Amino acid sequence: MLITKKIEIDMGHRVPNHQSKCKNLHGHRYVIEVGVDGKIITETGSPAEGMVIDFGDLKEAMMNIIDKNFDHSFTLYQKDEFSTLFEELKMKGQKINFVPFIPTAENLAKHWFELLRPKLSERKILIKFVRVWETPTSTATYEG
């Protein structure tokens, strides 16, 4: 059975090699949808009887891994020419994430999938995909 949960975060980034305006510092209201697969729990009397995973538990994993670390932050490729400027901002208390990839929607979907997979597998839940809306009409989906 496949179930999904969405959360939203606000995050800035830039795409340094972009030939248009995305090379500039900017931000998005990202919507992140996670799809998980598992068997419906049939244990009589279990608090999760009839569920694959409690939606609240899935949301908690997403909030602890994605929201806590990326919401209201700026995410920058660690080899970006501006990284030294952002290191200084980070030292002054700004929430900056340096990642080993250009922070496109595609790469973020893959990254968040890889961060969530171990947490969900502890509960014997198989993560199927992470879908990232960068805008209301543009998505990237990573399927593991």
User: Among this protein's residues, is 28 annotated catalytic?
Assistant: no
Note if 18 is an active site residue: no
Is 134 catalytic? The answer is: yes
- 3-class secondary-structure state, position 11: strand
Q: Are 106 and 140 in contact (CB under 8 A)?
A: yes
Residue owning tokens 């908690």: 60
The catalytically annotated residue of 8, 18, 26, 72 is 72
CB contact at 8 A, 27 and 82: no
Q: At residue 64, what are phi and psi to the nearest 5 degrees?
A: -70, -30
- The helix/strand/coil state of 12 is strand
Q: Do the Cβ atoms of 63 and 32 come closer than 8 Å?
A: no
The catalytic residues are 22, 72, 134
